Amino acid sequence: MTTDSNEHDSDELYKSKSELKREMHALQDFGKRLMELKPEQLAPLKMSDTLRTAIEESRRIRQNEARRRHLQYVGKVVRQENDLDELMRSVEAYDSGSAEHTRRQHLAERWRDRLISEGDSIVGEFLTYCPSADIQHLRNLSRNARMDVKKGKNTGHSTKLFRYLRECIDEHDA
């Protein structure tokens, strides 16, 4: 009876060569996605120094074969990351159409609408959510957006407020 359960356990731990290759290629694809990020998108991500250095190095490599080999190296380094799931979620937030991107968009829209309708009284609540936000800048943006709504004009202050809120939310969630 114990031999059957031991065999069953070893089957669960066993991965076929094809499955291992699929996982390796998925990690390389994720590494490629990291390499394609802009430096300002890459900066807030939590990753090891080794991975950050490998990604920055990739920007200097121009030859196709050298780039392919370096991509394999990046895939290997990604495999050794401590919190790979969190890193993947953070990168997914930059992909428009992803669930995380949509969630952050809607959150920023709700905060913008509340800041415009409720005024400065809600600024403190937003600061408890995103403590790194600049209170003075946030108050100015919301005040200007409120004035636009009051006057029935669209001078872009609401969009500026939204962009700042989205930036703060991205920073907080990263």
Specify whether 76 is located in the same domain as 113.
no
Domain that holds residue 46: 2-92
Q: Tell me: do 8 and 76 sit in the same domain.
A: yes
Residues 10-33: pLDDT tens digits?
Answer: 556 788 889 888 988 888 888 888
Q: Are residues 126 and 164 located together in one domain of the fold?
A: yes
| Count of CA atoms in the C-beta half-sphere (13 A) of 134 | 7
Co-location of 127 and 148 in the same domain: yes
Alpha-carbon distances of 106 from 19, 54, 71, 98, 111, rounded to whole Å: 37, 34, 34, 12, 9
CATH at 88: 1.10.60.30
Average pLDDT, the chain: 85
CA distance 116 to 85: 36
Same domain, 78 and 40: yes
Q: What is the DSSP letter of 103?
A: H
Shared domain check, 118 and 135? yes
84 and 152 together in one domain:
no
Residues 123, 163, single domain; the answer is yes
Out of 46, 68, 92, a domain closes at 92
- pLDDT for 48-93, tens place per residue? 999 999 999 988 988 999 988 998 999 889 988 888 888 888 887 7
Q: Which of 36, 66, 92 is the last residue of a domain?
A: 92
Q: Contact at 8 Å (CB) between 77 and 51?
A: yes
Give the pLDDT confidence score for residue 174 in this predicted structure.
Answer: 60
User: Rounded mean pLDDT of 39-44?
Assistant: 82
Distances (CA, A) of 31 to 3, 59, 72, 91: 41, 13, 9, 11
Q: 90 with 41: CB under 8 angstroms?
A: no
pLDDT at 138: 92
pLDDT at 107 over 70: yes
Indicate if 119 and 85 belong to the same structural domain: no
Tell me the C-alpha distance between 147 and 154, whole Å.
Answer: 10
- Number of folded domains that form the chain: 2
Q: Examine the domain organization and report whether 8 and 74 are in the same domain.
A: yes
Q: Where among 54, 71, 92 does a domain terminate?
A: 92
Please report how the helices 99-118 and 84-92 are oriented relative to each other, as an axis angle in degrees rounded to 10.
60
Contact 46, 90 (CB under 8 A): yes
What pLDDT, on a 0 to 100 scale, did the predictor assign at position 97?
63
Are 83 and 7 part of one and the same domain?
Answer: yes
Domain match, 120 and 45 both:
no
Long-range contacts of 68-76 (CB under 8 A, 24+ apart): 71/28, 71/31, 71/32, 71/35, 72/28, 74/28, 74/31, 74/32, 74/34, 74/35, 75/24, 75/27, 75/28, 75/30, 75/31
Asked whether the whole model's pTM tops 0.75, one would answer no
